[in-house]
Structure 1
Amino acid sequence: MIAWGASNGPATGQLIEGLLRRLPHPEQSYRACLGLLALRRRYDAVRLEAACARAVAAGTIAYRSVKSILAANLDTDPLESHAITTRLPASHEHIRGPRYYDTPPTDLFADDRPLVRSRPESLC
């Protein structure tokens, strides 16, 4: 079955191999593999290979992923060759820093005001 998928392209073969290894018994993945190969009837081999490459790159080894990539025409978009990394600056206006914790806490109950308001005499 892997060779059958690899005849379409390396990414298709890699995806079918991933499908077969995903479950403890390879037989459980046969329907997903056959469904993936049946997509060749609806889409051409180039689009199927591009969708499989996108699914492998995204780490979503599933028939549904490939089918939704093809349905949304995401296979025509180029794959990002570099990983996007986000780094936060070491200091910005929302970071308190160690000096914030050096100040003593304020005593909320320093004044002897009652915590619960008493009702006015007119309501009693």
Structure 2
Amino acid sequence: MTDHMPEEHRKYAQWNAHRFISWASSVGPSTEVVIRAILAAHKVEQQGYRSCNSMLRLTEKYPTERIEAACQKALGYTPSPSYKNVQTILKSGHDQVLDKPTKKDQSEHGFVRGAKYYGGEGTC
């Protein structure tokens, strides 16, 4: 079927969801979720192939560990991130920034001043 096509065009015939999902799962679980979200965001699956291929090409510029971290961070922002979301996180370096620890809950510390301060000593 692709014999008549120029070599440059034949590579597009190799694009399919299985190929992109397989690549994404080799990078990590968050990357796979992002690729599946990109494919699901389009009414026609093939419309998502260009974004998926762009995700795949990110490996030419960034290590897979950073791509996985960026996908994980993007999933923290939205359940269906786009290629642009991941690219922005990588360009800005936010994939390498540690998340700030959340404020500790006051209940972990209990009453710091003791029962006597609150007038509760011996009033049970």
TM (norm. structure 1) is 0.62
1:41 and 2:60 matched: yes
Is the helix fraction higher in 1 or 2?
Answer: 2
Q: What is the RMSD of the two structures over their aligned residues, measured on CA atoms? A: 1.5
Report the count of equivalent residues.
82
2:77 aligned residue: 58
**Paired residue type of 1:58:** Y
Taking the TM superposition and a 5 Å limit, the aligned residue runs for 1:98-117 are: none
Match of 1:17 in 2: 36
1:81 deviates by: 7.6
Larger radius of gyration: 1
Unaligned runs of 5+ in 1: 83-124
Q: What residue in structure 2 maps to residue 7 of structure 1?
A: 26
* Structure 2: runs of 5 or more not aligned: 1-19, 103-124
Match in the other structure for 1:77:
97
* Cα deviation, residue 3, structure 1: 1.6
2-side partners of 1:23 and 1:67: how far apart?
A: 19
Report percent identity of matched pairs: 32
